[in-house]
Structures are given as C-alpha cells and as structure tokens.
Structure 1
Amino acid sequence: MRHSLNYALVLAGLVAGFVSVPVKAHIFTHDFGVFDGSTGATATILSGVSGNYGWIDGTDADWGDTHKLSVYQFTLTGAADVQLSFEQAVALGGRNGLNPGFSLYSGLVHDPASPGGPDHDFSAGSIFIRDTDSGGAVTEGAFRALHDWRITNESDPAVVPPSVLTYIGHAYDGSQDYGTGVIPGGDGLLDHKVTQTFHLAAGDYTVFAGGSDYASQLAAVKSLGVSGTLSVISAVPEPETYAMLLAGLGLVGALTRQRNTAGKPRE
C-alpha cells in the first residue's frame, strides 16, 4: 500500500489513534560487541528471520520490510579486516533451507531506550522519509540492500535525527536472476551459507541479514533460523606504524648500500 500522506497528517493520525503501527516491524539489534582489531576475536549469535526473502526483497525498486530481517551491530575501536558469515541454523525452530544474504552499513539504528524507542518502517517519520527519498514511489518498507538509506522511530525528526545507514557492501548465497540480470554479490554456490570479508576503519556498523530466495514469498514458512558470525581475521596497522615500517626499510636499504660501497675495491 502506498503511503502518500505527508508527515504532518500521518503524525496527527498517530496521535489520534487512527494509524496502527506493527510492533513486529521494530528493529531490535543483536550486538556482536566491541572489537579493538585484535586478530582472532570472534562472536556468534543465533537468531531468526521471517520467511526466506527478506534480504533479496531489498534489492528491487520498491525496497523491503526490515521486520523480515535479523539485525546485528558491532563497533571497531581500531581498523581491521572483518569476516562476516551467515548460515542456516537448523536448531532454531527445527527449520532449515535458509539461503542467506546480508548487507553491511556504517552507522547505527536508534537504541530501544532512546527517545521515541526503536526504529521501524511504519513510524510517521519513516513513512515521510520513504516518500521523500523514493520520490513518491511505492515502497514496501525502508530497507535497501544495495544503497544508503534512512529510518527513524516515533520521535519528532526535528528533535531526534533519523538513523542514517551508509552502504559498504553485501553478499548472498548462490546466484539470483529475476529477469533483470544477475544480482551482483552472489557467491555462486547454493549451500545455505555466505561469507565475505571487509576492510573496515574504526567505527560503528550495522548488518541486516535475511533470505535471498525471492520466489519463496508465497511459501508458508513463518520462521527460519540464522547463525551470524563475526571474526577479526587481521589487524590493520595504523598510519604511524606504516611510517615506522617504511622508515625502517629505508634505513636497512641505506645500510646495505653503505656496506656494498665499502666492500668494493678502489679503482
């Protein structure tokens, strides 16, 4: 259903109780934790997603609904190469068959304890943002798998700025083409798991993960288990470290040249 009301009218409707807000669409994140870039640090979280198409739905022109995804966040206090992996978790609900996909963004969504509560697609502010950013086009939700996007909570956007999620990259299980060309980022192997490594600076990050089987929208699957893992596979030296390394290599080179010159017989 297209939301064409302007922000003021929708907000008035919420206050008057004329507009209902689906509680299930609120974004509650799973926290991988804080990492200082130390190699070998890892964290795994079991979660669930509604259906097997939440991620892939965010790749098309009418965007997607965030309540069909599982959302993770983490913080890096130092630059690092981070590996993200998502796979089906049969133990959760006894279901399997998830074809996972995920997108990584810099930035965080609002904390549930913040003024206005957690973000969700159908808050008055989010509807206004969607109508603005889409140019008035029909949108199913706020989620965009391959682009930057914004979302907010029940607070007044003039008081509490919306969450801004800046796209970094994505990956998904297998390869999908729904008639408009192969969606980039597939790993080419449909085995119910996907892994990708990112070179990241220090900062806050959010990951949205869900199913990549768009054809399953009509399937009667209510929930699928997903296991998400973050691993720091290598630390990235700070610029000062690179400078010291280059200075050291230069010194070694100079000493080598000096020794070679000293060892040559005079003509």
Structure 2
Amino acid sequence: MKKTFLALALLGLTQPAWAHLSYTGRDFGTFSGLVNASNSITTTVNTNYGWAGAADGNLGDSHIGRAFRFTLQNNAWVDFSVDATSADLLPAFSIYGGLAAIRTGGVFPGTQTSADYDSANASIVWRYSWAQANLGSNKSYTDTDGSWNALGNWKMGGDGDVIGIDSELSSFIYKGSATTATDVVTGKFLLGAGDYTIMIGGNNAANQLATSFGYTASLNVSAVPEPENMALLLAGLALVGWQVRRRSK
C-alpha cells in the first residue's frame, strides 16, 4: 500500500536532471574466456569520492562514478586495475553481474523510454523500499543519495518502467570490489559467463573535489585451467616438493 501511495505522489514530482547510466565509450568488449585477452580505456571521473559515497551505508549517486561493461562467454579469471593520473584520486571499483538498460535499434527494453537513472520514479520507489528494509521503518528514499550500492546488490529503472515492480528494473548483482590508499587499485575475480558492469569512482571521501580526474582502466581475461591440467599442475608441484624434501634429507 505504501508503494502505491508513493508511486501516485511521484507522478506529480519534477525530478532533477541527474545523469543517466550508460556505457558510451566504456565497453571493454566480449571475451571468449578460453584465451588470454585484454583491453584498456582512458577516461575521467568527475569527483574523487563517488565510490566512497556509494559505500557509506545509504547508497550513492551513480552519476558521480563511471559505468563500464564487458561480456564473458565462458568462465574466466578477470584481472582489473585502475591507474589514476593524479594522486588526488584514490580509485576504487565494484563489479556486478548484469547491465543497465541498453537501447537496441533505438528502443529500450519493455515499456522503458529512457536510460536508467537514480531519480526515475521507478528508481525512487525501489530506494524507498531499500531504505525501509536497511535503514529503518521510518526512513524514505530521501535518506538515500541514489541507487548505487558499492558493497551489495542494487536496482535502477528509467522512465516508462512499471513503478513498484522490481522485475522491471535493471539488477546489479555484487561480485566483488577493490579499494586502495594510492593512485592504483587492482583486483582479481573468478567470474562465470554473462554480462558485467564495473562501477569506478573515488575512495577519497575526505577531500570532495568537484573536478575531473583522469585514469586508465585495464581489464585482462585469462582462461580457467581445465580440471586435468589443474591436476597435472598440482601433481607437478607435489613432485617438486617431494624432491626438495628428499634433497634436504
């Protein structure tokens, strides 16, 4: 019932023009997962606290980070790194299974008529439910800064999405994250076949500079050893260990 009243109220609101979530110029591509491959993208982020703002317990504004995407056709190891060009940016990132709504042939999926964004009516209804479930029964969407959850699952919708129905929204399933105290951050993840989103932002919450910071994001994909190859590797390591012990005796 609360969702219904909130949805009706939202229809009359004028939402702020927050940036929409897209992957323009930030698509690493599709990888087979069976052979080693890599790609790098150099771009900017407009604050040095976006990731920290999404990890502080009340969600974050997605437009102060940058969304990247890639696709795996098979299980693979994924090494990801962000190298900032300025020591003022302490980069951080989170990896999620799933993608934001993508326009194909000029059309968004289902009834959606815009890209996903934090202040879409459907996103606000989801934020309202998240706030009540995670922050307290007296909380509302106004107690969140956006939809982005740097340390967990989250959802986001766009114009035209059916309000209050979570299945209409884009879902981001948390797979892992990495932070740093320097200008370079790295992480290694074992991921299955599927589409993935990487959200990159800054981990420096104390110095909230509203400016642009350059960085290079690099993604490396390597094959997961076949079971028989892994068995041979372990056997070889065991043999080396046995020989070392024998010589020591």
TM-score range, shorter chain: 0.7 to 0.9
Out of 119, 122, 134, which is 1:122 matched to? Answer: 119
Deviations 1:90-145 (A, max 9, x none): 6xxxxx62110000011111114413221100000000100011113400111111
- Normalising to structure 1: TM-score of the pair? 0.73
Which residue number in structure 2 is paired with residue 235 of structure 1? 223
Structure 1 stretches lacking a partner, 5+ long: 91-95, 175-189, 247-267
The corresponding residue for 2:75 is 79
Identity of aligned residues (%): 33
Return the TM-score normalized by structure 2. 0.78
Secondary structure of 1:216's partner?
A: coil
Q: In the alignment, what sits opposite 1:187?
A: none
Please state whether the residue corresponding to 1:230 is helix, strand or coil: strand
**How far apart in 1 are the matches of 2:230 and 2:94?**
35
Q: Aligned with 1:227: secondary structure?
A: strand
Local SS of the residue matching 1:110: coil
Tell me the amino acid that sits aligned with residue 151 of structure 1.
Answer: M
CA drift of 1:61 comes to 1.9
Aligned length: 211
1:36 aligns with 32
Which residue matches 2:173? 166
* Structure 2 residue runs without a partner (length 5+): 133-138, 232-249
Mark the structure with the bigger radius of gyration: 1
Residues 245 and 102 (structure 1 numbering): CA distance in 2 closer, same or farther, change over 3 Å?
A: closer
Cα separation, partners in 2 of 1:82 and 1:7, compared to 1, 3 Å: same
Q: How does 1:85-124 map to 2 (within 5 A)?
A: 85-89=81-85, 97-112=88-103, 113-114=107-108, 115-124=112-121
Work out whether 1:151 is the aligned partner of 2:156: yes
Cα distance between partner residues in 1 of 2:155 and 2:131: 11
Question: Are residue 55 (structure 1) and residue 51 (structure 2) matched?
Answer: yes
**Match of residue 8 from structure 1:** 8
Equivalent position to 2:198, from 207, 221, 224 = 207
1:129 is aligned with what amino acid?
A: W
CA distance in 1: counterparts of 2:48 and 2:129, whole angstroms: 29
